[in-house]
Amino acid sequence: MPIVIKVLGFSVALTLVFTIITNLLPQVEGEAPQEKTFDPGAFTEESFVLLGEDLFKGKGTCTLCHNNMGRAPDILVMNMGETAAERLADTRYQGKATDTESYLRESMLEPSLYVVKNYGKKGSKSPMPVINKAPIQLSEIEINAIIAYMQVKDGNQMTVALPTATPPQEKTKTVQALAENAEAAISQYGCTACHAILTSESEIGPDLRNVATRLSSAEIRQSIIEPNAVITEGYSPMMPSNFAEQMKVKELEMIVQFLAEGGQ
Ligand code: HEC
Ligand code: HEC
């Protein structure tokens, strides 16, 4: 544990130096968020916290607002344990949180439940986006990692549980019924919004009715689960990259087979 704190302390210090340097340069805001894949079964406390830091500064876009420019509380330099205790003691506080972890989670999932003084928009709504919804859309594991980071960076105890090999999303997935066939899966996942397939003539993405003439089954599978690995010439990389998380393996295989057999 002490080593973790040392390492993190150092990384926070480095971050501060970086923040100061980058704030001196005008055009640094809005770095492209990077997608990272991870094996949920393989985390240690340290790697989980580092994932959280990565998400906080990258994909989560938290530092676009939470920085030293005054748009939002500067979480990087605040002790979030003490902050949570102060918020919970505020007479304006009407949420359900009881400790640091639940306060941080609530701030991210229901930002308007309690709006930090001087930061509210008219009607006392929070300007902060709900971060498990589009466009940020973090998963439960990612949210936990960010909470772990916000706890440990200040030397507070990490109370969130490390993810297990079966991530929680997988449990909710089994609740949703398996699509009956490839056509049903293609409609359910909205492929028709961008591709010409089934009754759709959309031209945002390549025509999928003849994709078998261009790609092998393996390439079709990759195009769906890692759409940005190879970008089809003449198109921009705008295909959602979270189908692998959303789809059941069977659905993916039905779609791949259907497309590989000519998409009719
Ligand atoms: C568009 C700007 C914006 C983004 C992006 C944003 N926030 Fe916020 N956040 C705010 C503002 C403004 C507040 C203060 C108002 C409030 O309480 O909701 C806030 C409040 C918070 C609080 C409560 C802070 C306190 O002092 O009690 C936490 C925790 C938090 N945000 C975490 C995050 C995390 C983690 C992310 C990234 C996943 C994030 N925010 C992304 C604007 C943003
Ligand atoms: C928001 C629009 C959008 C959605 C929704 C979408 N795609 Fe795509 N897709 C694209 C674009 C744009 C490309 C080309 C750029 C690229 O390769 O990422 C593409 C590329 C592909 C390719 C490679 C085609 C080729 O000829 O190289 C396949 C296969 C594919 N998509 C299948 C799917 C399937 C299956 C779904 C539904 C599960 C889907 N797409 C949903 C936009 C979309």
- Is the pLDDT at 144 greater than 90? The verdict is yes
| 25-34, 149-158, 172-181, 223-232, range with the lowest pLDDT | 25-34
In this predicted model, which residue has the larger pLDDT, 7 or 214? 214
**Mutation choice for ligand 2 from 207, 216, 224, 239, CB with most ligand atoms inside 8 A:** 239
| 241 phi, psi to nearest 5 deg | -105, 15
Domains of the chain by start residue, with CATH: 2-152 (no CATH), 176-260 (1.10.760.10)
**Mutation choice for ligand 1 from 53, 61, 62, CB with most ligand atoms inside 8 A:** 62
Q: Which uninterrupted H or E stretch holds 197?
A: strand 196-197
Is the CB of 48 within 6 Å of ligand 2?
A: no
> Ligand nearest 246 Cα, by number?
2
CA of 240 to the centre of ligand 2 (A): 8
CA of 209 to the centre of ligand 1 (A): 44
| 201 phi, psi to nearest 5 deg | -115, 20
Residue 210 sits at the vertex; the CA angle it makes with 205 and 214, to the nearest 5 degrees, is 85
Between CA 100 and CA 160 the distance in angstroms is 10
Q: Which residues contact 154 (CB under 8 A, 6 or more apart)?
A: 78, 79, 80, 81
In this predicted model, which residue has the larger pLDDT, 62 or 7? 62
Q: Is the pTM of this model over 0.75?
A: no
Is the CB of 258 within 6 Å of ligand 2?
A: no
Whether omega for the bond prior to residue 127 falls within 30 degrees of 0, making it cis, is: no
Q: pLDDT by residue (tens digit) across 166-187?
A: 545 544 444 568 889 999 999 8
Q: pLDDT by residue (tens digit) across 60-112?
A: 889 888 999 888 999 999 999 999 999 999 999 999 999 999 999 999 999 99
Is the CB of 126 within 6 Å of ligand 1?
A: yes
Is the CB of 147 within 6 Å of ligand 1?
A: no
pLDDT at 41: 73
Report the share of the chain in percent with pLDDT over 90: 47
* Closest approach atom of ligand 2 to CA 231: 17
* Closest approach atom of ligand 1 to CA 146: 35
- Is the pLDDT at 16 greater than 60? The verdict is no
